[in-house]
A and B are shown apart, each in its own frame.
Chain A
Amino acid sequence: GNSVTQMEGPVTLSEEAFLTINCTYTATGYPSLFWYVQYPGEGLQLLLKATKADDKGSNKGFEATYRKETTSFHLEKGSVQVSDSAVYFCALSWGYGNKLVFGAGTILRVKS
């Protein structure tokens, strides 16, 4: 079936460090891929998305590239800030209605 696997956390970084959160997926067909973020005390928000192979999604300094050959959608940011501390979820959508399939989430903690 369709599934998403992302690296376990928590990931703890110092401010201005480089961030990578790995995400791989298993899917039939060609799903769309997403990163959602959940800040403390807030609801899930879409961070970025890519709808086809080789697309790059980007937002707020975060980037991820849809790699069909490696079935991956790794999240990167060149210089993290304390305000980036949150839980990050990788997800794919497929099927009629485009329901989302989520990974387990990765906690990011950024220290000043």
Chain B
Amino acid sequence: GAGVSQSPRYKVAKRGQDVALRCDPISGHVSLFWYQQALGQGPEFLTYFQNEAQLDKSGLPSDRFFAERPEGSVSTLKIQRTQQEDSAVYLCASSSARIAGRSYEQYFGPGTRLTVT
């Protein structure tokens, strides 16, 4: 389909392992967002890309979290040395926004559920 896709859908990691979560945005969407959703909570912003430039990473909880979008399309969120508190659903969203200050709809992927044991 033409929506946002994420892989894997489920990931179980042992504490201390590194994980990589992938997001394929809608084709042509220049803006890409990552959010973290803990159980029973609303999503919380992690980071934002416009094309390949990471313009806002203020929501990344620690230096163990790293995101990239090298060609301005697919993005990867990497978590190093996973901890139990990293267990959550990681959501990716994309939008066609090109202009700051304008509200464009964000289209969300199904998320990756990460469980750290």
Contacts and interface: CB of A to CB of B under 8 A. Distances in A.
Interface stretch (A12-20, A68-76, A78-86, A95-103): A95-103
B102 A96 contact: no
B41 A99 contact: no
Interface stretch (B20-28, B80-88, B107-115): B107-115
Interface residues of A, number: 24
A100 B55 contact: no
Contact of B104 (A42, A98, A101, A102): A98
5 contacts: A43-B109, A96-B55, A97-B48, A98-B95, A98-B101
Interface of B: 4, 31, 33, 35, 40-45, 48, 50, 55-56, 59, 91, 93, 95, 97, 100-111
Interface of A: 4, 32, 36, 42-46, 49, 51, 89, 91, 93, 95-105
